[in-house]
Amino acid sequence: MRRIIFSNFFLIGLSVPKEWVQAGLLPTLEQTEGPFYPIEKPIDQDADLTFVSTRKKQAQGKIYIIQGRVMNIYGQPLPGALVEIWQANKWGRYQDRRDAANLPWDHNFQGYGKVKTDDFGYYAFKTIKPAGYRQGSIRRTPHIHFKVNKHGFDELVTQMYFANEPENEGDIFLSNAERKESVLVKFKLVEGGRRLGNFDLILG
């Protein structure tokens, strides 16, 4: 798989530690874990969320490939870091029985995945684009939850968003965030009708 790296986390008038300024990198924005981090994880926990091992049909939705690199603020790769993702399905429902939304359940969608970074800090996931959803009075734009664990404890919890998504401006977790550019990802159409995007995770 081709790997693409974007280095766009530069200091612009923010008050941050001197070493971050010297490195030219800022940590990825931290965000809430949300209510649906899977307490009971699925049997299939690999990096391909579009297939469940016990079933033969592919999950509903457009296929997206998310790849990137886990690094520290000096740009050094972090090999062996555990990267986890979890998200809603095509209709905006989590594959979690705690989600009581009156929306379809996709039995072919894994909903959760994990992978360890390679020797150069790279990771990649194959998934589908989730729909936005309403939770109480809050409307969420499409997003994917990320958690990075490096030394036996959580070092980063964040959410990835889709650039140019119409619902982004109305999402309180994104629209009110500082440095939202660190969690917005642009995707491009590649061979096979898939979308490819790069999401580097910078640990402070």
pLDDT digits (tens, 9 = 90+) for 91-143: 999 988 899 889 999 999 999 999 999 999 999 999 999 999 998 888 999 99
User: Rg for the chain (alpha carbons), in Å?
Assistant: 17
Smallest CA-to-CA distance from 42 within 93, 112, 129 is with: 112
Residue 26 to residues 64, 68, 143, 146, Cα–Cα distance (Å): 26, 16, 21, 17
Note if 97 is an active site residue: no
Catalytic residue among 64, 94, 112, 123: 94
Whether 133 is a known active-site residue: answer yes
194 part of the active site: no
Beta bridge partners of 158: 146
Place 17 in a pLDDT band, splitting at 50, 70 and 90.
Answer: low
C-alpha to C-alpha distance for 109 and 80, rounded to whole angstroms: 26
User: Annotated catalytic residue: which of 133, 161, 194, 195?
Assistant: 133
pLDDT digits (tens, 9 = 90+) for 148-173: 998 766 689 999 999 999 999 999 99
Question: Is 107 known to be catalytic?
Answer: no
H or E, element range at 22: helix 18-23
Kindly name the residue from 112, 122, 123, 140 that is annotated as catalytic. Answer: 140
The CATH number of 18-203, from 2.60.130.10, 3.30.160.100, 3.20.20.60, 3.30.450.20, is 2.60.130.10
Q: Dihedral sign, CA of 186, 145, 20, 152? A: negative
Is position 64 annotated as part of the catalytic site? no
**Domain range list for the chain:** 18-203
In the structure encoding, which two tokens stand for residue 107, read together? Answer: 């039995």
**Given the residues 122, 145, 161, 195, the one annotated as active site:** 145
